[in-house]
Amino acid sequence: MFTNTTDFVHSRSMRDSLKRGLARQAIDTADRAAPDLPDLLRMAADLRPNAKALERLARRIMRRPGVSRVVLARNGKGLSFTIRAVRMLDTRVEGQTAFHETGLVYLRAQVRKPGPSTDCRLPEDLDQIDRAGALRQAAEVLLAEAAEEALSQSDRDTASAALARLYTLTQEVRA
């Protein structure tokens, strides 16, 4: 059957059929090239503090299966990569599965090297973050978690880093 552009433009069923075919093709392609996220994160952990190493890492990550995009940060201190994976998706309404389908899921990860903008500068006083409100409450919780001996060192370090980041962001907004 021969179709021309006019037939395609006026036929909704032809356009829908093409969309379904392209979606099926994209899912099949992504399924064959499934990403290995733990391996990608291990590679990203090898981030070195110079531009040439960052470019090499970006090229290595881009060659991995399932990676659809790698972008170097504008400030030259990191990169972000996007992976695409096939997952079963459930649409639920009031706890009941209403629709079940195979779909594509995109995940973006950002990796950056530590530097002056990401170091752990903690506030001397929580009033430097906020005197009251949600920011103050968040700062109090993070400060308590950073000092909580019952938590693991990793959890305390995470809380401390989050508090430092909160402090840095509030100082940038005030500047």
Q: Which two tokens stand for residue 11?
A: 């036929």
Q: Is 70 found in the same domain as 45?
A: yes
Q: Is 94 found in the same domain as 71?
A: yes
Confidence of residue 6 (pLDDT cuts 50, 70, 90): low
Give this prediction's pTM: 0.52
Q: What is the mean predicted confidence (pLDDT) over 76-102?
A: 85
Q: Is 85 found in the same domain as 130?
A: no
The angle, 0 to 180 degrees and rounded to 10, between the axes of the packed helices 134-147 and 153-174 is 150
pLDDT attached to residue 62: 93
pLDDT attached to residue 174: 73
Q: Is 134 found in the same domain as 103?
A: no
Give the least confident one: 26-30, 142-146, 167-171: 167-171
Q: Please report whether residue 1 resides in a domain.
A: no
DSSP secondary structure string, 97-145? EEEEEEEEEEEEEEEE---TTTS----SSGGGT-SSSHHHHHHHHHHHH
Q: Is 29 found in the same domain as 74?
A: yes
Q: Is 24 found in the same domain as 100?
A: yes
Q: Is 135 found in the same domain as 85?
A: no
Distances from the Cα of 11 to the Cαs of 18, 24, 25, 51, in angstroms? 11, 20, 22, 52
Other CB atoms within 10 A of residue 66 CB:
19
Q: Is 76 found in the same domain as 22?
A: yes
Q: Please report whether residue 162 resides in a domain.
A: yes
The owner of tokens 């962001």 is 169
Kindly report the CA angle at 136 between 130 and 140, in degrees rounded to 5?
130
Mean pLDDT of the chain: 79
pLDDT tens-digit series, residues 18-70: 777 878 888 888 888 888 888 888 888 777 767 888 889 899 999 999 898 99
pLDDT attached to residue 70: 93
What range defines the domain where residue 164 resides? 126-174
pLDDT attached to residue 122: 59
Higher pLDDT: 12 or 122? It is 12
User: Using CA atoms, how far apart are residues 29 and 108, in angstroms rounded to an integer?
Assistant: 19
Q: Please report whether residue 47 resides in a domain.
A: yes
Q: Please report whether residue 108 resides in a domain.
A: yes
Q: Is 62 found in the same domain as 28?
A: yes
